[in-house]
């Protein structure tokens, strides 16, 4: 990327009815298409890290997770509940700051995020073969084929894709009919995270964000209603673990 090219410094995000966060504006529109571009919120990041931790004993390198994402912290929020995020170069694993994570899909086929998906698929299969007594060992191709079938089904129903769903579908995958065969401790650590995902860091509303050509805010709505929305922003912005699935939005 040349020095004159736009840089990935910030993005504007908003929580949707599916309880996931989606990018609406980005500082680098040349290299990023925001149509259907999701971003992983802080509680989802924690959930993914916890699931990846269970793969370490099977050889997973956490640096792969670290390299797969661009990290953002909350900068400010607006009356319409859009949130501005600013990019930071800190660790999402070792740091104690709650961060949003945008997968590095600059190269969708061979980039860091693609490598991350390949690695978690490999080690999830290794874990399942270790914990479940299959008649024939599960293969990576079988896992990928089944997940792809689920994706296609969701896509046909018009279900929007989100990176969190894509990742957790792999990390929580169990072949049909074998759900009860996993060790209870492993099952609990990978599935019972709803309580943690129901909390979200407090967002300070900043009315000083000025609209310009790169930050297109929606107009309209009466001022009295906007003030009510401001008072309720902490109650309305709640992060919950979405339903499993991994469709891609085109």
Contacts of 249 (CB under 8 A, 6+ apart): 35, 36, 155, 160, 161
Task: Please state which of the ranges 29-43, 44-58, 144-158 shows the lowest mean pLDDT.
Answer: 144-158
Which run of H or E residues covers position 111? none
pLDDT at residue 5, as a whole number = 56
Interior/surface letters 42-63, b for 16+ CB within 10 angstroms, e for the rest: bbbbbbbeebbebbeeeebebe
Residue 18's pLDDT band, with cuts at 50, 70 and 90, is: confident
Residue 237's pLDDT band, with cuts at 50, 70 and 90, is: very low
pTM above 0.75, yes or no: no
Does residue 230 register a pLDDT over 50?
Answer: no
Average pLDDT of span 157-164 = 83
Q: What is the 3-state secondary structure (H, E, C) of 194-215?
A: HHHHCCCCCCCECCCCCCECCE
Q: Where are the domains of the chain?
A: 10-236
Does residue 189 register a pLDDT over 50?
Answer: no
Per-residue pLDDT reduced to its tens digit, 60-79:
999 999 999 999 999 998 87
What is the chain's percent helix, strand, coil content, to nearest 5? 40, 15, 45
Sheet holding 10-15, edge to edge: 38-39, 21-26, 10-15, 83-88, 69-77, 100-103
CA–CA separation, 151 and 143 (whole Å): 12
């Amino acid at each position: 990327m040349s020095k004159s090219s736009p840089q990935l410094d910030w993005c504007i995000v908003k929580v949707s009815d599916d309880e996931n966060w989606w990018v609406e504006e980005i500082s680098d529109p040349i290299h990023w298409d925001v149509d259907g571009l999701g971003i992983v919120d802080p509680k989802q990041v924690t959930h993914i890290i916890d699931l990846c931790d269970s793969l370490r004993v099977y050889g997973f390198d956490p640096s792969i997770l670290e390299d797969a994402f661009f990290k953002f912290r909350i900068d400010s929020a607006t009356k319409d509940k859009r949130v501005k995020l600013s990019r930071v170069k800190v660790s999402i694993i070792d740091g104690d700051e709650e961060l949003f994570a945008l997968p590095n899909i600059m190269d969708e086929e061979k980039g860091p995020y693609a490598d991350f998906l390949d690695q978690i698929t490999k080690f999830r299969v290794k874990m399942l073969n270790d914990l479940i007594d299959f008649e024939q060992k599960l293969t990576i191709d079988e896992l990928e084929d089944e997940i792809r079938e689920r994706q296609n089904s969701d896509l046909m129903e018009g279900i929007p894709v989100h990176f969190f769903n894509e990742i957790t579908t792999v990390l929580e995958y169990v072949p049909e009919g074998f759900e009860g065969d996993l060790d209870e401790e492993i099952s609990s650590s990978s599935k019972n995270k709803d309580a943690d995902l129901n909390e979200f860091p407090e967002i300070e509303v900043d009315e000083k964000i000025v609209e310009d050509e790169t930050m297109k805010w929606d107009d309209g709505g009466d001022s009295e209603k906007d003030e009510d929305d401001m008072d309720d922003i902490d109650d309305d912005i709640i992060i919950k673990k979405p339903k499993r699935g991994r469709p891609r939005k085109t």
